[in-house]
């Protein structure tokens, strides 16, 4: 559930900061200063606060302790938003735990620049090799600071029986197919797509995907490293998005629809059969299960297809967009920390991770352990994609990403234009330098 955050986080923020302040002193920068042999204490914050994940991680830590006498790991399993808020506060005071979660992109770069994260390029070289291209989510300028343990891609989750009802036999492969599907669904009296534009980022995902379809990987890489959005492909992406919005495929009142909270959220509308599809990440089945009384979500009606190709666009039509979670060590953590996060990425631990449906593993040895058919398909698409682009807002960092998402939100509200998105993003980036 990587992206399940923001709204509630801010409301509970003050309390969480206060909590973090209290506990930070007690267990923060304590990990027993290096030197082999002595007792080492590691603190680990993770967000698998429900079973089976919680118990699984306790077992993993116990196994590691057994294999490494003298090392003790104290775990704090936190609710996701709570963890993010506490981590933010911990980073500001330099009291971060030894092992914590990073999500790559500009946020990781900020932490690296502030000297909070350990460079593990050499220490974890074997694991880095095993992970292959997935490692990009833990890199800043060719150095590795975090090991991605789950990497998902965003695509369309759809209700197979509503598609059948509207007479759509194959999931759309091109945007034209998608427009045709939208028309068929409307004719059948079904709202085609839900989008949580109230939270901005679910709406922004559409623009990101059009950017990936319109721009070459080279242009995207350059945009990320040099913050240069002058290529025309970025404007074309906005025009594609305008065309989609003009077709009115979205649920009624989508501008105020939240992404995942409650039955009237975008995920709730899909889970309760009120819309036919939604663009979302690998977390969607889990979110939908939480939003239905029977805990099944869409159950057997769950289907998934990748974001369609855009006819005549110059980018890679097979490339995917997504993001992941990665384990990182605090800059002042003892060397055992690296051993532990490497252990977390080992074949054995990643296989258990996949079997427990805790995410999409990055270690190829665990691919066969993913049992859910929709997730298995998603994993296949991810691994066969020429590249997986990180969410652009994560890539550009909170500040530039926020300015970009705001302007995309305005485009959804009919108060902006393709050029303005590029301009607002560029302006925020220019201010940073």
Partner 1 sequence: MAAATTVRGGARTGAPRRVPRPVRPQWRTRAEIAFFITPALVLFALFVVVPVIQAARYSVFAWNGLGPLENFVGFENYTRALGDPVFISAISHNLTIVVLSILIQLPLGLLIALLLNRDLWGRTAMRVIIFIPYVLAEVVAGVVWAMLLQPRGPVNAILEAVGLGEATQLWLADPGIVMVTVMVVLTWKYLGLAIILFLAGLQGVPEDLYEAAQLDGASWWQVQRKITVPLLGPTIRTWGFLSMIGSLQLFDMVWILTGGGPADSSITMAIYMIQQGTERSLYGYASAVAVILFGISFVLAVLYQVFVLRRDTRDAVPDKPRRRR
Q: Which residues of the shown chain bind partner 1 in the complex (CB under 8 A)?
A: 6-7, 10-11, 13, 88, 91-92, 110-111, 113-116, 197-199, 252-257, 262, 264, 398-399, 402-403, 406, 409-410, 412-413, 415-416
Shortest Å, Cβ 92 to partner 1:
5
Shortest Å, Cβ 306 to partner 1:
29
Residue 302 token pair: 């769950």
In angstroms, the CA 334 to CA 16 distance is 27
Phi-psi domain of 251 (left: phi exceeds 0; alpha: psi -120 through 50; beta: other): beta
Shortest Å, Cβ 401 to partner 1:
8
Say if residues 206 and 279 touch (Cβ distance below 8 Å). yes
Shortest Å, Cβ 298 to partner 1:
20
* Residue 60 vs 101, nearer CB to partner 1: 101
| Segment holding 185, helix H or strand E | helix 175-187
In angstroms, the CA 374 to CA 304 distance is 6
* Residue 11 vs 180, nearer CB to partner 1: 11
Shortest Å, Cβ 116 to partner 1:
7
* Residue 254 vs 353, nearer CB to partner 1: 254
Packed helices 392-412 and 418-432: angle between N→C axes, nearest 10 degrees: 140
Shortest Å, Cβ 110 to partner 1:
6
SS3 223: helix
Shortest Å, Cβ 309 to partner 1:
30
In angstroms, the CA 394 to CA 234 distance is 17
Closest CA to 313 of 181, 212, 179, 221: 212
* Residue 60 vs 197, nearer CB to partner 1: 197
* Residue 108 vs 309, nearer CB to partner 1: 108
Packed helices 53-67 and 336-344: angle between N→C axes, nearest 10 degrees: 130
CB atoms within 10 A of CB 324: 28
* Residue 111 vs 236, nearer CB to partner 1: 111
Say if residues 361 and 378 touch (Cβ distance below 8 Å). no
Shortest Å, Cβ 75 to partner 1:
25
* Residue 48 vs 330, nearer CB to partner 1: 330
Shortest Å, Cβ 157 to partner 1:
22
Phi-psi domain of 182 (left: phi exceeds 0; alpha: psi -120 through 50; beta: other): alpha
In angstroms, the CA 8 to CA 260 distance is 11
* Residue 191 vs 336, nearer CB to partner 1: 191
In angstroms, the CA 285 to CA 296 distance is 9
Residue 107 token pair: 């946020």
* Residue 62 vs 114, nearer CB to partner 1: 114
Closest CA to 3 of 267, 256, 351: 267
**DSSP state, 361?**
B
Say if residues 291 and 284 touch (Cβ distance below 8 Å). no
Shortest Å, Cβ 211 to partner 1:
21
Say if residues 55 and 25 touch (Cβ distance below 8 Å). no
In angstroms, the CA 339 to CA 36 distance is 13
Sheet holding 302-305, edge to edge: 191-194, 275-280, 155-159, 302-305
Shortest Å, Cβ 107 to partner 1:
8
| Segment holding 410, helix H or strand E | helix 392-412
* Residue 115 vs 299, nearer CB to partner 1: 115
Phi first, then psi, for residue 30 (nearest 5°) are: -110, -25
* Residue 46 vs 111, nearer CB to partner 1: 111
């Amino acid at each position: 559930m990587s992206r399940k955050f923001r709204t509630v986080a801010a409301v509970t923020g003050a309390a969480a900061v206060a909590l973090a302040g209290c506990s930070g002193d007690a267990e923060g920068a304590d990990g027993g200063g290096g030197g082999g042999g002595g007792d080492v204490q590691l603190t680990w914050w993770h967000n698998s606060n429900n079973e089976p994940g919680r118990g699984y991680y306790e077992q993993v830590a116990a196994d590691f302790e057994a294999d490494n006498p003298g090392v003790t790991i104290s775990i704090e399993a936190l609710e996701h938003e709570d963890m993010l808020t506490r981590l933010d506060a911990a980073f500001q005071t330099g009291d971060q735990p030894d092992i914590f979660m990073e999500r790559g992109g500009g946020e990781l770069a900020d932490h690296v620049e502030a000297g909070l994260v350990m460079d593990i390029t050499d220490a974890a070289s074997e694991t880095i090799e095993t992970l292959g291209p997935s490692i990009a989510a833990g890199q800043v300028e060719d150095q590795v600071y975090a090991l991605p343990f789950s990497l998902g891609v965003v695509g369309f989750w759809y209700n197979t029986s509503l598609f059948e009802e509207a007479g759509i036999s194959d999931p759309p492969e091109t945007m034209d197919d998608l427009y045709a599907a939208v028309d068929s669904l409307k004719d059948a009296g079904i709202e085609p797509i839900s989008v949580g534009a109230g939270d901005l980022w679910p709406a922004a995902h559409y623009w990101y995907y059009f950017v990936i379809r319109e721009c070459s990987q080279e242009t995207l890489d350059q945009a990320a490293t040099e913050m240069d959005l002058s290529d025309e492909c970025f404007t074309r992406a906005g025009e594609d998005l305008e065309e989609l919005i003009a077709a009115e495929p979205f649920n009624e009142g989508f501008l105020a629809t939240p992404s995942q909270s409650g039955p009237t959220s975008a995920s709730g509308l899909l889970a309760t059969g009120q819309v036919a599809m939604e663009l979302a990440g690998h977390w969607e089945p889990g979110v939908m299960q939480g939003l239905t009384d029977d805990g099944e979500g869409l159950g057997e009606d769950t289907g998934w297809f990748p974001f369609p190709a855009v006819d005549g666009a110059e980018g890679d039509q097979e490339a995917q967009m997504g993001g992941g979670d990665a384990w990182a060590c605090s800059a002042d953590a003892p060397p055992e920390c690296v051993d532990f996060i490497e252990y977390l990425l080992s074949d054995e631990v990643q296989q258990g991770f996949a079997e427990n449906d805790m995410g999409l593993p990055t270690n190829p040895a665990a691919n066969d352990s993913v049992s859910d058919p929709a997730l298995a398909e998603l994993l296949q698409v991810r691994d066969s994609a020429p590249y997986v682009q990180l969410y652009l807002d994560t890539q550009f960092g909170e500040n530039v990403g926020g300015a970009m998402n705001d302007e995309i939100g305005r485009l959804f509200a009919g108060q902006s234009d393709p050029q303005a998105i590029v301009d607002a993003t560029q302006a925020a980036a220019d201010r940073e330098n």
